[in-house]
Amino acid sequence: MNIALIAHDAKKELMVQFCIAYCRVLSQHNLLATGTTGKLVSEATGLPIQCFLSGVHGGDQQIAARIACNEIDLLLFFRDPISAKPHEPNEMNLLRLCDVRNIPIATNIATAEVLIHGLERGDLEWRNIVNPPQH
């Protein structure tokens, strides 16, 4: 499955720690991420990650385009709910696209843990029908 990772600055370390904790599960999937988040996670875990631009430079929009084309199966988007973001309308578009394409999304670590355990159990295998793996 294709899993996208995005984290606001205040949540990047949390994303890194989450990915370290679930490295075994994540290693069985294709990972994509915005630039800085992907670099930090890859350096900490050794996982191969396809990195796009940083979020403020349009990386979140690049991931949104993949979501619109139904090429992402799961989005882990650790958001900072406290600080206002200048590109927040893009984030709403990202969330809307996930709803349109029925893509599971976690915006915090609590939901991410539920989804990662579901992924591990095979609960998200229905995405392979919607988005067959490319060989």
Q: Provide DSSP, 8-42.
A: -GGGHHHHHHHHHHTHHHHTTSEEEE-HHHHHHHH
Q: Is 36 annotated as a binding residue?
A: yes
Picking from 87, 121, 126, the residue whose alpha carbon sits closest to that of residue 104 is 126
Q: Give the integer Cα–Cα distance in Å for 123 and 115.
A: 9
| Active-site position among 9, 60, 80, 123 | 60
In order of their start, the domains of the chain are 2-80+87-130 (3.40.50.1380)
Q: Is 34 annotated as a binding residue?
A: yes
Write the Ramachandran bin of 93: left for phi over 0, alpha for psi from -120 to 50, otherwise beta: alpha
Task: Please give the Cα distance from 76 to 121 (Å, whole number).
Answer: 18
12: annotated binding-site residue? yes
45 is in an annotated binding site: no
State how far the Cα of 93 lies from the Cα of 47, in Å rounded to an integer. Answer: 28
Check whether 135 has a pLDDT greater than 70: no
23-54 pLDDT, tens digit per residue, is 999 999 999 999 999 999 999 999 999 999 98
Q: How many CA atoms lie within 13 A of 26 on its CB side?
A: 28
80 is catalytic: no
pLDDT digits over 47-71, tens only? Answer: 999 999 988 889 999 999 999 999 9
Q: Is 29 annotated as a binding residue?
A: no
Is 58 annotated in a binding site? The answer is: no
Note whether 71 and 88 are within 8 A (CB). Answer: no
Regarding pTM above 0.85, the answer is yes
| Measured distance CA(24)–CA(61) in Å, rounded | 28
